[in-house]
Amino acid sequence: MSKPKVLVARAVFPEAIARLEEHFEVETNPDDALWSKAQLIGKLKGKAGVFTTGSERIDAEVLDACPDLRICANMAVGYNNFDVPAMTARGVLATNAPDVLTETTADFGFALLMATARRLTESEHFLRAGKWTKWSYDMFAGGEVHGSTLGIIGMGRIGQGIAKRGAHGFGMKVIYHNRSRLAPALEAECKAGYAGKEELLKTADHVVLVVPYTPESHHTIGAAELALMKPTATLINIARGGIVDDAALAAALREKRIAAAGLDVFEGEPQVHPDLLTVPNVVLTPHIASATVPTRRAMADLAVDNLVGYLVHGEPKTPLNPEVVKA
Ligand code: GLV
């Protein structure tokens, strides 16, 4: 019997591809090319599974053109590149890569907060440019981190990890806003108190965004929300591009209506709003919050586990639409 065919849509660890090759006929993308939708459809025809990384959009048009497809396994916890209802309607399984990146991503969220509040990259650029000729009392004086108020919007696993770092490690007062309130035991574990969005924006010294991207969370932070924040506050986005109105943020940063921002994700990335590239008080990183070697390996392994688990054994590890498995 011939092996099922699987597409690996982006370059990934050779070990992950070798694991897939034990079970499947595998087509890869060794040049790590960014395929157009038409190219993706061309590659996907006849494939039973696809390993995606979050950059490949799987929607009704792709699914209708590729009727052999049974599973799309994302090497990412976010899955806004998938139209899950369209997949469910066609009996195609969607899986993501939760849990394995939680602590690493929370570490990065905190690193970005620290770098932003303490003006790390701005001061490094100054030094590298040879502008450091003398010490001065207010040179790159930033905002306080320890003992300040940390406001987290989106209190899932990663938000909780950031809350614990802030509360336990830095003595911060933690407030959070979420669609649903956490159970009291979990609030106590995170030392976090629930707040309305407006109250959080008005009182937090550092606002960290960790909400999934959905049509409802589009521009969770726009001009109106930025206007509520303290002029000394920082804004950190490690969630998804589109959660923040980047043009409105760039204007607020330029006019010093908030102190600074740290952004790992961007509307329309890898394009970055040109105004963000010219304001000094923003730390910019290229969507690397989960990027440690062990974590990226674990994410790739989980995507492979899902493909093998479902196509070989009928049991995926982390299904997003488990009703497809039961059907
Ligand atoms: C990264 O952004 C992810 O969703 O895993």
Domain ranges of the chain: 5-99+293-326, 102-284
Beta bridge partners of 173: 149
Q: What is the mean pLDDT of residues 213-229?
A: 97
Q: 3-class DSSP state for residue 156?
A: coil
Between 102-117 and 157-164, two packed helices, what is the crossing angle to 10 degrees? 50
Where residue 205 falls among pLDDT bands split at 50, 70, 90? Answer: very high
pLDDT at 1: 74
Asked about 179 being catalytic, the answer comes back as no
pLDDT at 327: 80
pLDDT tens column, 110-135: 999 999 999 999 999 999 999 999 99
Asked about 10 being catalytic, the answer comes back as no
Which letter does DSSP use for residue 181 in this model?
P
CA angle 112, 162, 257 (to 5 degrees): 50
CATH of 102-284, one of 3.40.50.720, 1.10.10.10, 3.40.30.10, 3.40.190.10: 3.40.50.720
pTM confidence score:
0.96
pLDDT at 29: 97
CA gyration radius, the chain? 21
Which residues have any ligand 1 atom within 6 Å of their CB?
Answer: 54, 76-78, 101, 290
Closest CA to 176 of 156, 168, 185, 165: 156
Cis check for the bond before 270: say yes or no (omega within 30 of 0).
Answer: yes
Catalytic residue among 122, 218, 269, 297: 269
Class of the CATH-defined domain 5-99+293-326: alpha beta
Asked about 240 being catalytic, the answer comes back as yes
pLDDT tens column, 36-51: 999 999 999 999 999 9
Catalytic residue among 240, 267, 273, 296: 240
CA dihedral 187, 222, 285, 281 (to 10 degrees): -100
